[in-house]
Structure 1
Amino acid sequence: MSARFNVLSLLAPAMLAGALALPAYAQYSGPSTIKEGTVAGILANPVDDQAVQLQGHLLRRTANDKYIFSDGTGEIVAEIKDKRFPAQPVDEKTKVELVGEVDTGLTRPPEIEVDSMRVVQ
């Protein structure tokens, strides 16, 4: 009985740890307080930490995690970590949606710090 108890006492925590290690994928599709904006609007009145949602194209990569994004109204630097990219390939012709925050600085133009990115069909 004690050998069976020892196996179960080791197996249960291992199974629990394995279950907790599984990634959780959830996509909320209901209403949001994040309003879709434009690059021109952000550049005209940048508000630090303002939540934004933009649709457009990544035109080019300028540095590690830095891309030029355009929605047709203007261009802005988007800071996008590799883990934020969708599984499918993205190039300058791929329409994407960026959700993130405006990041202002004293010595540089505003940027978008991207929290999520998806391909728009």
Structure 2
Amino acid sequence: MPGAYLAAIVVSLAGIMVLDVRWRLALPVAAGRTLAAVAIGTTFFLAWDLVGIAAGVFVKGDSPLLIGIDLAPHLPLEEPVFLAFLCYLGLVAWAGARKVQARRAEARGSVREVSR
């Protein structure tokens, strides 16, 4: 089933975007910074991949789930999409953890005020 891997990444990306928008974690709060962070992270990891490919460490295996379009030898089209997803997921997870941490700190502050 060609394209299944790319479809899974895109569906997962859409799910993370829904969570991001619903909880106002990254993109709705600071769209420019979010897009810049994802672009910088994706570029870094893509460069990392290219160095690994040139060193012979990373090779593309044969999989019927890939579309079959290579951007470079051993670099399938799905790779930069996955790297962008990975960077965005990390950013949303970090923003979510900070929001939970802030709410817990706020709740602790409220409890202290009541107990005085």
Query: Same-fold call, TM > 0.5?
Result: no
Q: Comparing both structures, which one devotes a greater share of its residues to strand?
A: 1
**TM score, norm. by length of structure 1:** 0.23
Greater gyration radius:
1
**TM score, norm. by length of structure 2:** 0.24
Q: Comparing both structures, which one devotes a greater share of its residues to helix?
A: 2
Greater relative contact order (Cα < 8 A, sep 6+)? 2
